[in-house]
Amino acid sequence: MDLHFDFKHHLQKAGFIFFIMLVYVSIFLPSFWLLAFGKDLPVKARDKDDQLSNKKISLEEAIRIAIEKNPFLQSTRDQVEAALGSLRQSKLYPNPVLQFLAEEIPDNEIGLNQSQNLVAVTQPIITGGKRGLGIRVSEKGKEKNEFEREVAFLSVVADTKKAFYMVVGDQEGLTIAKETEEIAKGIYGSEKLRFDAGEVAITNVLRAEVEWSKARNLVSQAEGNLQNSIKELQTVMGIPDEIVHGVTGMLLSRPVELSLSELELKMNNNQPFLKASKKNIEIAETQLSLEKRRVIPDINVSAGYKRLSLDNIDTVQVGVEIPAPFFNRNQGNIQRNKALSKKAKNENQSVYNELLFQLRKNFNSYNVERKRTIEYRDKILPKAEESLKLITRGYREGEFDYIDLLDAQRTWAETRISYIASLKSLNLFIADIERLAVTKIREQ
């Protein structure tokens, strides 16, 4: 009886332990899988960027992500950090040289008792203001790198806007393609019913089916274009492996009229690429001054203590070393930096000419595309939509034939597609003008 009780007691205890282990495993098994297999969990883990992958992003979000994660922009920040290190190093003074010398050590005795022993310190003295000029070169180099970082910032923002506008336009293009497919599908259904009723020939049904197939192909093409533009946006943002389902926002359709003279003035005053080019001139001229000063030799001043062990005499030594610039007067480096100074000035003029050309080119293209967009928006598109409505209604009432309806449908679709293409081009020109003139273009 006691044995039966003990066995039952141990069985209950084992069952309780098994229950505890089951609860423990159910709680800590996910952590075990994470430690053992990393990210490859049996059950898909929630993505930390789920908020990005499950929604469409705005232009402001796209720019924020690009500023944070674009690798090109990150590299320019690293370059500025490197320039700070160079500036810090240029301000450091040369280290002194410590010298210990034992002379005339007898070969029959190991030690310093019978030798002449010298302990000295030599300190290089930089003359002619060369150290100050070197610091100025490093300071101007840091400033140039800061301007180049601003150039990269403007480029990344402009590229992000352009890629974003392409996605917006392709999203609209996909919408138009799907609407066209629905219209073609409706026409095909209508023609099939009329053929079954004996009202039209089979050729009408075949034509409608062909148009429907074309419309489906246009949808597939529009979907491919949208996916490519999304991938381009992700690459510019610096998140090529993330999942973005689209963007929110609209293309600018009523931008203000611009003044070329104001844009040129803003470019001259604010364009960091031009400032970086001018800083190159300052660096080259300062470096030339430094090379000319290198003709003045630096001085090595030394002082030391010397013990004459044999004579039991303590002595003090003082010395000055001055290189004699008989042969090397830095002629080659002076000639080189004179040429580099001229080169920097010519490059600055070339940069200004190129920026001015790009600004004027984009300004002219902007005005042409702006007029075209206004024409489409205010005249062509409303007439195409009204024509499609009238012919569709007339076709149902028997006033127009099938060919008229197809022409109206094609005209309507092509007009909307052309309008979206014009808007995309206009917004791309806006992004480039904003980058060149360092300004913001708004809608009226």
The 3 state secondary structure assigned to 150-196 is HHHHHHHHHHHHHHHHHHHHHHHHHHHHHHHHHHHHHHHHHHHHHHH
Compute the distance between CA of residue 202 and CA of residue 208 in angstroms, rounded to an integer. 10
Q: 299: number of CA atoms within 13 Å, CB side?
A: 8
| Residue reference for tokens 């003279």 | 261
Domains of the chain: 63-92+126-295+330-437 (1.20.1600.10)
Residues 57 and 244 sit within 8 Å (Cβ to Cβ): yes
Joined tokens for residue 91: 């301000």
- Interhelix angle for 331-375 vs 402-437, to 10°? 150
Entry pTM: 0.80
The average pLDDT across 152-164 equals: 97
Compute the distance between CA of residue 248 and CA of residue 425 in angstroms, rounded to an integer. 19
What are the tens digits of pLDDT across the range 17-34?
444 444 444 444 444 333
- Indicate the range of 49-53, 63-67, 208-212, 338-342 predicted with least confidence: 49-53
Contacts of 39 (CB under 8 A, 6+ apart): 45
For residue 114, what pLDDT is reported?
66
Percent of the chain with pLDDT over 70: 86
- pLDDT above 50 (res 40): no
Percent of the chain with pLDDT over 90: 66
Share the mean pLDDT of the chain: 86
The average pLDDT across 322-327 equals: 90
The average pLDDT across 356-372 equals: 97
Q: 50: number of CA atoms within 13 Å, CB side?
A: 5
- pLDDT above 90 (res 415): yes
For residue 16, what pLDDT band results from cuts at 50, 70 and 90? very low
For residue 321, what pLDDT is reported?
92
Cα dist from 403 to 52, 180, 201, 233, 390, whole Å:
47, 16, 13, 41, 14
For residue 11, what pLDDT is reported?
41
Instruction: Name the strand (E) or helix (H) holding 426.
Output: helix 402-437
For residue 410, what pLDDT band results from cuts at 50, 70 and 90? confident
| Residue reference for tokens 């930096």 | 337
What are the tens digits of pLDDT across the range 243-260?
888 999 999 988 899 999
3-state SS assignment for residue 51: helix
- Bridge partner list, 97: 122
For residue 54, what pLDDT band results from cuts at 50, 70 and 90? low
CA dihedral 43→48→51→53, nearest 10 degrees, is: -70
Joined tokens for residue 298: 């630096």
